[in-house]
Chain A
Amino acid sequence: MSALRVTAVVRRIIAQFRRDPRSLALLFAAPVAVIALLGAVLSGSGASTARVAIVSESSQPASAAVVSRLTAALQGQPTVMVNTDVHDAATARQMLKDKQLDLVVNIPADFTVQSPKLQLVTLGLNPTGEASVIPNVQQALFKAVAGNLGGALPSIERSTVYGSPDATTVDTLAPVVVGFFVYFFVFILTGISFLRERIGGTLERLLATPVSRAEIVLGYSLGFGFFATLQVATVLAFVLGRLDIPSLGPVPAFAIGLGVHTAGNPLISYLLVLILGLGAVSLGIFLSTFARTELQILQFIPIVIVPQALLSGFFWPIDQLPSLLQPVARVLPVTYAIDGLRQVMIAGADLTSGQVLFDLAVLTGIAAVFIVLAAATIRREVA
């Protein structure tokens, strides 16, 4: 292993991308634009008023009192409109379907004062949008029930008429987007760069020099690690930071950045994403062996990227996937990056957390496997 040769490869990759402003722009602007859009869309839907009904399926005498307390509590909320005409659960569900209600608070049949339990029911056609009405309702409910029931906090269950609930908001989506974008871009850019080496004749030229395959993989990893680092820094700064711009003349006030609250250390988030990215570099090199044209690299998107988007916990929790797909989800690197990022950014976990260490270990293992595969496929045999 020669530092001089590895450095030469790293510098070359950085120089090549400096000459390609479009790819650079894609690397930094695209994730920021998507997250900004996501933030705008989600916060926009949160501003509307939620139409709520409170019903009871419980025969407990206390439940009627709970209903009236909850009603009183929710009526004080600015973004909530309580429909007091609905009393039975079946009607309320029908009204959800008819789009006359956004949310139903149900006191289930097994409600007891000892273990108070509430159900929040939404339609389930668009869990992400519906979820935006929940937080302020939930706040009010906690206060009302806790006050009423002498300190015992109710457990609140989410349920939907259709599908399964998923309380996704900007906060919980941000870590996912960070991890996913790095993986996507690093994979695509490495795949195409290495394919160009193969078909452009430079790989043959490279392999006729004393550079080793390990040095090439390391050089690529460091070069793309450099860009992944800048990308993560940009995206994290945008997601976590927030710069409020006051209104000026006809331009209304707006904010740059999402100001998402992160509980954990951004450096640990970065570490997770970096190891994920290293795996993506090697995967790109490895898969470039099986492509003859740049179009064929793009054909790997539905094979490599889309399944990870669907199965890695991006949209649905792994536990709720069909049992057949769960093992698949558990071999995908993005699954572990997203889990780790959620642990760190939402739950505030650090490196003492067994779960985060496990995620890091699995990501390292997956990266190691692909580094070996990548090095093995940069065969001396060319042409």
Chain B
Amino acid sequence: MTVASPSPTTSATTAAPAVEAVALRKAYGPINAVDGIDLSLPAGRIYGMLGPNGSGKTTLIRLLTGLVSATSGEARVMGVEMPSRTNLARIGYMTQADGIYPELSVWENLSFFAALYGQRDRAEMIRALELVELDGRLGTPAHQLSGGMRRRLSMACALAHHPAVLFLDEPTVGVDPAVRVQFWDHFHRLAAAGATLLVSSHVMDEADRCDELLFMREGHVLAQGTPADLRARAGTDNLESAFLHFAGLSASPPATAGSSQEAAR
């Protein structure tokens, strides 16, 4: 399968980091869902955002896409201050809840979102469905798909317009292992072609597939670095223990990040 390069960026913005946050904060009443985050993520890499439920991953993505307005601070994507409607054409967003229309077929969902992004190339749309292995179910209404299939359709809808920056909010939840492997292979191809991916997860099992990790807790980024780097800094060979180390919690008894809430997504 060939991978088309992401939409070309203007020379003025290529120098800027793909994703930037400056003292970004979002308060919901007394809760600081995102509590002063600074980020500067160069393009062409896969960033994994790891943290238990409620650590602010979804809110951070919503701030970066301009879907919620920041209480304070700034968010920039490809050097453009968000919210910016035109900049959204270069961004792909796979929401945590599947943002697809249950009455519509696989093809109707995909072509609807593709049209909103200005993507009219039928071959590209088919290719996005091939990647998620839904090209054989073009006419199936989305409500007849399994949970994992809906997740895959949701992914195709975020990819079909070849975004330069992709925000994927817990993309692999409910997706079977074989398709997961394929997803990650594709993520790496996209990154190699210059795209930037920010992938959130509340479990650690895919963390090693990311180029760089952001450990998140209570609206803060606890630590940032490559998986190997974070392990070394925490003095452990296990990312879960590393998370607990940076969270200021003791490494024993062993527990997974957000273990108590893992079932309740």
Contact = CB atoms under 8 A, between A and B. Distances in A.
A211 interface: yes
A197 to B, nearest CB: 9
B95 interface: yes
A383 interface: yes
The residue in B86, B104, B115, B118 that gathers the most chain A C-beta atoms within 10 A of its C-beta is B115
Interface in A1-18: 2, 4-5, 7-8, 11-12, 15-16
Interface residues of A, number: 27
A122 B83 CA distance: 67
B103 interface: yes
Interface string B79-111: 000010110110101010111111110001001
Interface stretch (A200-208, A252-260, A263-271): A200-208
A383 B103 contact: no
B195 to A, nearest CB: 16
Contacts of A20: 103
Contacts of B120: 4
A212 interface: yes
Interface in B142-161: 157
A202 B101 contact: yes
B113 interface: yes
Given A4-B115, A8-B116, A210 B88 contact: yes
A173 to B, nearest CB: 36
Interface string B96-138: 0111111110001001110111101000000000000000000
B162 to A, nearest CB: 14
Contact of B83 (A5, A19, A380): A380
Contacts of B69: 380-381
B6 interface: no
A12 B99 contact: no
Contact of A381 (B68, B99, B111, B118): B68
Contacts of A200: 97, 99, 101-102
A290 B62 CA distance: 22
A12 B104 contact: yes
B53 to A, nearest CB: 15
B68 to A, nearest CB: 5
Interface in B31-66: 62, 65-66
B141 interface: yes
Contacts of A380: 66-69, 83
A210 B100 contact: no
A7 B68 contact: no
Nearest to A11: B112
A209 interface: yes
Nearest to A211: B116
A202 to B, nearest CB: 5
Nearest to B88: A210
A5 B112 CA distance: 9
A22 to B, nearest CB: 12
Contacts of B103: 15-16, 19-20
Given A15-B104, A380-B69, A383-B62, A201 B115 contact: no
Contacts of B101: 12, 16, 200, 202
A380 B93 CA distance: 14
Given A12-B104, A209-B88, A202 B99 contact: yes
Interface in A182-202: 200-202
A382 B63 CA distance: 11
Contact of A201 (B83, B99, B157): B99
B85 to A, nearest CB: 5
A2 B118 CA distance: 9
A5 B98 CA distance: 21
Task: Tell which of B88, B111, B115, B116 has the most Cβ of chain A within 10 Å.
Answer: B116
Nearest to B108: A15
B115 A205 contact: no
A12 B95 contact: no
Nearest to B109: A12
A383 B68 contact: yes
A202 B97 CA distance: 9
B110 to A, nearest CB: 12
Nearest to A201: B97
Given A5-B115, A15-B108, A208-B93, 12 more contacts: A2-B118, A4-B115, A7-B115, A12-B112, A19-B141, A20-B103, A201-B97, A204-B62, A380-B68, A380-B69, A381-B67, A382-B62
Listed from nearest, the 10 A-B pairs whose CB atoms lie closest are A205-B99, A8-B115, A201-B97, A209-B116, A208-B93, A19-B103, A210-B89, A201-B99, A210-B88, A202-B99
Interface of A: 2, 4-5, 7-8, 11-12, 15-16, 19-20, 200-202, 204-212, 380-383
16 contacts: A4-B120, A5-B116, A8-B111, A8-B115, A16-B104, A20-B103, A200-B97, A202-B100, A204-B95, A204-B97, A205-B93, A206-B99, A207-B67, A209-B117, A210-B85, A210-B89
